[in-house]
Each structure stands twice: as C-alpha cells, then as structure tokens.
C-alpha cells in the first residue's frame, strides 16, 4: 500500500508543496501505550530502492521514543514526525544524531484525554508560542532550522473551532523559513462539517488540503495521494499567481 501511494505521485515535483504518505492514526503499542506515533516518509522511492524497502519495513512503526527514531532513520526514513514534538526523554538527542528532518507536532495534553475539554487563551497565539519553543529546543540540541517543519496538530487536543482557527492562520504559526505541515485527510473535523463518515471524506479532504496550501501549508499529509497532488498543484499555482509569480 505504501508503494502504491508513492507511485500515485506523492512529492511529484510540486516544489515545496509536497504530499507525503500518511496512515490512519491509531494506537500502535510497541511500548508506547496509547501514544499516537507514526513515521512519515517522503514517498520519492523507486521500486526496489533502499528507500522503497524502508517504506515497506517502517510503514506502521511508532516513532515516539529515541530508539524508534534511530531505527527508522537507519532503515531509510528521512523525516521524523513526532506527535510529542521531541519532548520524550532522549528524543531531541536522537533526532539530532540521526540527521533526518523533523516535524514538530503540537498536542495539548495526552492522547487518552486530549479531547476532554481542551482550553486555550488564544489558540493561534498559544500554538505558535508552543511551536516556537520547540523550534528553539531543537536548535539548542543541534538540529538546524533547515531540518525542521511544524504541524499545528489538527485534532490533537483541539475543538473543531480551534482546528478551523489554526487552519485559517497557518501563515502565522512559525517563522516564514520553517515549512508548516498539515494533516487533515479524513479527519473528524471533516465529518463534523460535511456529515460524512470516514470513508466518504475524499472531497472534503482534498478541498481542505488545497485550502491549507492557500493559507500557507508547505507540506500536506494525505491518504488519497493522486487526488491531493492534483489539488495541491492547482492551489500552488494560484498562490504563486497571487504573489505575483509566474505560473
């Protein structure tokens, strides 16, 4: 399945507007309890290549501890997507040593309780402050900015109104030099908006991916890769036109 999605066109030449293969978020075990950890790999592989083999090997490994980070990078992963933003003991040092890119995801609370009455003073300001603190921690640990991207953590300790406020303010969440990754594919927010079950959220997922790019997302995590690639290319072209660039 990972290879099939890769061959659908993920990371298909859309400059910094990249689609990366994602997986359904669910508890994985492997010593992580109910932590929702996953590894995101840029789907740039050729069949039979070392990275393509890594896609197969690492597809459902949880990336929530330092040893997981090291093993996954050794297997060919090039981006560590950590739902705890490298706050677990040893995670910062392991990521710095690994040399891979890192995605710092925002999560308020713990997976078991994060959706129980999440509160923010100002969700955009609070998430931006938290992400900037984690960026600073990464830099202090020896991870340069060019290896960092951030994820506002849509659906992780946020109400629907929090998620929408963050998506509307993606261009304000980090330093302009740090890409923002968004994962909205098939999420419950789309179910709330459209009334559709998980398996019927393709149109909503693709629309929100394109709108996220228009609002400043540089990386989109998607299940339905081919459709999302097309939508991202269109949104990227329109964003360039709005900025005065050539098509």
Give the C-alpha separation, 237 to 247, whole Å. 6
Token match 């963050």: residue?
Answer: 166
The helix (run of H) or strand (run of E) holding residue 235 is helix 225-242
Q: Which residue among the candidates 28, 186, 221, 233 is catalytic per the annotation?
A: 221
221 is catalytic: yes
**Quick one: which of 109, 126, 105 has its CA closest to 182?**
105
84 is catalytic: no
Handedness of CA 162, 167, 173, 174 (dihedral sign): positive
Contact 153, 106 (CB under 8 A): yes
Instruction: Mark residue 35 as left, alpha or beta (left: phi above 0; alpha: psi -120 to 50; beta: remaining).
Output: beta
Q: Which residue among the candidates 187, 201, 215, 233 is catalytic per the annotation?
A: 187
- Residue 20, phi then psi, degrees to nearest 5: -115, 145
Handedness of CA 132, 134, 139, 140 (dihedral sign): positive
Active-site residues, by number, are 187, 221
């Amino acid at each position: 399945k990972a290879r099939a999605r890769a061959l659908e066109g993920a990371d298909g030449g859309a400059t910094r507007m990249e689609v990366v293969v994602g997986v359904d978020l669910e508890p994985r075990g492997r010593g992580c309890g109910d932590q929702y950890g996953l590894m995101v790999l840029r789907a740039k592989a050729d069949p039979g290549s070392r990275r393509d083999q890594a896609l197969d090997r690492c597809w459902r490994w949880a990336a929530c501890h330092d040893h997981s980070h090291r093993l996954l990078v050794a297997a060919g992963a090039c981006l560590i997507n950590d739902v705890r933003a490298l706050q677990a003991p040893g995670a910062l040092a392991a990521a710095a040593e690994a040399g891979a890119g890192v995605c710092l995801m925002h999560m308020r609370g713990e997976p078991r309780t994060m959706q129980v009455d999440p509160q923010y003073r100002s969700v955009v300001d609070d998430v931006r402050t938290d992400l900037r603190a984690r960026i600073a921690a990464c830099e202090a640990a020896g991870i340069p900015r060019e290896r960092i991207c951030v994820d506002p953590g849509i659906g992780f300790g946020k109400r629907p109104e929090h998620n929408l406020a963050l998506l509307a303010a993606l261009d304000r969440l980090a330093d302009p030099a740090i890409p923002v990754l968004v994962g909205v594919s098939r999420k419950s927010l789309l179910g709330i908006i459209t009334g559709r079950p998980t398996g019927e959220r393709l149109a909503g997922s693709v629309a929100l991916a394109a709108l996220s790019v228009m609002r400043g997302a540089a990386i989109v995590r998607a299940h339905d890769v081919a459709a999302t690639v097309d939508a991202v290319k269109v949104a990227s072209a329109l964003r360039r036109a709005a900025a005065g660039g050539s098509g």
